[in-house]
């Protein structure tokens, strides 16, 4: 195992023996894996493999049946989604869940703010917030569209807004649920460039992705899930070249 850069192998998140069943179906079955700092870990696997469920378990959207998850060395087993966000773990949704009636700018602004009480912000807080929002708007190429309501954006722009909401924050770990699906080749080139740039600046990413070109293009590590079980977790080439996994992935199950 060769790290892409020195010191990049610190484990940010430790997932151990995590289980989740829906009725009789084991959606996540005894999964143990690490998310290492400063790299992109890709979750691959057929539909229904438990990839999104794993995200939901990490952020506390769903509660685990058993197992433990540690974040920066501390257990976060009873965490609620808003606490996960404040701890630096952010996620996107496959169906985006933008704040549709709000402007592009307000969508990002809201993502940056995590105060619950109706108290005014200080001037330095406002300035810091403004800078983050502008940074994300520019990165995502949405600056000229900042006053438009989210629901009036085109499809690709909506996907970039979903990314911009995460980019504007100081989160250390991004859990991205199929952020590139349905993008045209130009847009996903741009998307990959953004992602690589952000990782270079220290963000850690765990991404669910189906498109093998993208998977090969960005992954530092690949975790392969099928029917809730983690079948492989390692270097991209070794996982992708495993004939058994290929068979499962391409539906040639035996």
Q: Please state, in angstroms and rounded to a whole number, the distance separating the CA atoms of residues 58 and 77.
A: 8
Least distance CB 147 / other proteins (angstroms): 11
> Which residue lies nearer to other proteins by CB, 62 or 223?
62
Q: Please state, in angstroms and rounded to a whole number, the distance separating the CA atoms of residues 216 and 6.
A: 22
Q: Please state, in angstroms and rounded to a whole number, the distance separating the CA atoms of residues 74 and 50.
A: 24
Least distance CB 234 / other proteins (angstroms): 29
Q: How many CB atoms lie within 10 A of CB 227?
A: 16
> Which residue lies nearer to other proteins by CB, 20 or 91?
91
> Which residue lies nearer to other proteins by CB, 164 or 240?
164
> Which residue lies nearer to other proteins by CB, 174 or 224?
174
| β-pairing verdict for 204-208 and 173-177 | parallel
Least distance CB 4 / other proteins (angstroms): 28
Least distance CB 219 / other proteins (angstroms): 24
Q: How many CB atoms lie within 10 A of CB 154?
A: 9
Residue pair 155/106 in contact by the 8 Å Cβ criterion: no
Least distance CB 106 / other proteins (angstroms): 6
> Which residue lies nearer to other proteins by CB, 91 or 172?
91
Least distance CB 109 / other proteins (angstroms): 6
Q: How many CB atoms lie within 10 A of CB 249?
A: 20
Residue pair 161/140 in contact by the 8 Å Cβ criterion: yes
- Residues of this chain that bind other proteins (CB under 8 A): 59, 61, 80-82, 84-86, 90-91, 93, 97-102, 106-107, 109-111, 113-118, 120-121, 148, 151-152, 154, 165, 169
Q: 207: which DSSP letter?
A: E
> Which residue lies nearer to other proteins by CB, 46 or 81?
81
């Amino acid at each position: 195992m060769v790290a892409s850069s020195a010191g990049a192998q610190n484990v940010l998140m430790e997932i151990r023996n995590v289980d989740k069943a829906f009725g009789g179906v084991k959606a996540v079955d005894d999964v143990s894996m690490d998310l290492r700092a400063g790299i992109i870990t890709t979750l691959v696997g057929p539909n229904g493999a438990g990839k999104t469920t794993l995200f939901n378990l990490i952020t506390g959207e769903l509660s685990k049946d058993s197992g433990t998850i540690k974040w920066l060395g501390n257990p976060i087993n009873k965490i609620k989604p808003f606490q996960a966000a404040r701890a630096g773990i952010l996620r996107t949704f496959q169906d985006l869940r933008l704040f549709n009636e709000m402007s592009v700018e307000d969508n990002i602004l809201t993502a940056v703010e995590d105060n619950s009480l109706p108290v005014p912000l200080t001037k330095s807080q406002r300035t810091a917030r403004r800078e983050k929002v502008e940074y994300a708007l520019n990165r995502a190429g949405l600056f000229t569209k900042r006053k438009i309501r989210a629901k009036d954006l085109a499809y690709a722009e909506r996907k970039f807004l979903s990314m911009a909401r995460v980019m504007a924050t100081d989160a250390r770990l991004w859990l991205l649920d199929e952020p590139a699906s349905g993008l045209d080749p130009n847009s996903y080139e741009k998307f990959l460039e953004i992602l690589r740039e952000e990782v270079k600046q220290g963000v850690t990413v765990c991404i669910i992705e189906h498109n093998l070109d993208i998977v090969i293009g960005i992954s530092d590590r690949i975790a392969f899930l099928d029917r809730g079980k983690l079948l492989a977790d390692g270097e991209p080439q070794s996982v992708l070249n495993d004939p058994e996994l290929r068979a499962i992935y391409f539906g040639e199950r035996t």
